[in-house]
Chain A
Amino acid sequence: GENVEQHPSTLSVQEGDSAVIKCTYSDSASNYFPWYKQELGKGPQLIIDIRSNVGEKKDQRIAVTLNKTAKHFSLHITETQPEDSAVYFCAASNPGDYKLSFGAGTTVTVRA
């Protein structure tokens, strides 16, 4: 089955700086890569996703890049703000598959 590895496990950044989280996946057939943000005491929420026919996608301060050849994808948060502090999960799934394989999560702390 799909195995998703996520790094780093914790990330502390100064407000206004950028944060980058990296994930690798094992199954070359995977074609859908979402990112979820989980705030304290809440469930994970989708913040951005990318499909394998696209190399990069941006939504305001967040962007995701995908390298299919290397089987890795990354989340970039620019101009970080205190409300960006949360646990971020990457995930991957195969075409037509209901199962989403999650990375282990990255706890991001934005220092004021």
Chain B
Amino acid sequence: DTAVSQTPKYLVTQMGNDKSIKCEQNLGHDTMYWYKQDSKKFLKIMFSYNNKELIINETVPNRFSPKSPDKAHLNLHINSLELGDSAVYFCASSRRQGTGANVLTFGAGSRLTVL
């Protein structure tokens, strides 16, 4: 059973198009995230939702819009795609441990290529 699954795994599209990436987790976690990994492997947080409420919104162009219909799903919609949006986007989920630690489980990633 896949814990955090995201689709599609690969996405190739033209500049200016609008695209969506979907994420689902079956771990019963209450917090979900989108991270962007650039070509240098750097992992940067974009958004986080806790119980369907936005709790982290980093400096991300407003062409990126997350949506969380329920605790188990977090989708990412990107408008007017630009060359610089090419990256691997990772979905993750977490539940706070009794120790206070927030342990993240990542999906396999969605590689977006904008031509």
Q: Find chain B residues with CB under 8 A from A46 CB.
A: 103-105
Task: Give chain B nearest CB distance to A39 CB in angstroms.
Answer: 10
Task: With A42-B109, A98-B55, A99-B56 as known contacts, state yes or no: A49 contacts B41, CB within 8 Å.
Answer: no
Q: Which segment, of B11-19, B61-69, B79-87, B93-101, faces chain A?
A: B93-101
From A31, A32, A41, A98, B31 is in contact (CB under 8 Å) with A98
From A42, A87, A99, B41 is in contact (CB under 8 Å) with A87
B interface residues, tally (CB under 8 Å): 27
Given contacts A43-B4, A43-B106, A100-B104, 7 further A-B contacts (CB under 8 A): A32-B101, A34-B101, A41-B109, A44-B104, A51-B101, A98-B55, A104-B42
Question: At the interface, yes or no: B50 with Cβ under 8 Å from chain A?
Answer: yes
Q: Which segment, of A18-26, A62-70, A88-96, faces chain B?
A: A88-96
Question: At the interface, yes or no: A45 with Cβ under 8 Å from chain B?
Answer: yes
Interface band, chain A: 20 to 34
Q: Evaluate contact between A99 and B48: CB separation under 8 angstroms.
A: yes
User: What is the CA–CA distance of A112 and B28 in the complex, to the nearest angstrom?
Assistant: 41
Report the nearest A residue to B92, measured CB to CB. A43
User: What is the CA–CA distance of A93 and B101 in the complex, to the nearest angstrom?
Assistant: 8
Q: Evaluate contact between A105 and B42: CB separation under 8 angstroms.
A: yes
Task: Give chain B nearest CB distance to A51 CB in angstroms.
Answer: 6
Task: Give chain B nearest CB distance to A49 CB in angstroms.
Answer: 7
Question: At the interface, yes or no: A73 with Cβ under 8 Å from chain B?
Answer: no
Q: Which of A34, A36, A96, A98 is most buried by chain B, counting CB atoms within 10 A of its CB? A: A98
Question: At the interface, yes or no: A97 with Cβ under 8 Å from chain B?
Answer: yes
Q: Evaluate contact between B43 and A44: CB separation under 8 angstroms.
A: yes
Q: Find chain A residues with CB under 8 A from B106 CB.
A: 36, 43-45
Q: What are 6 residue pairs bridging A and B, where the CB atoms are less than 8 Å apart in the complex?
A: A32-B101, A43-B90, A45-B106, A49-B101, A49-B103, A102-B43
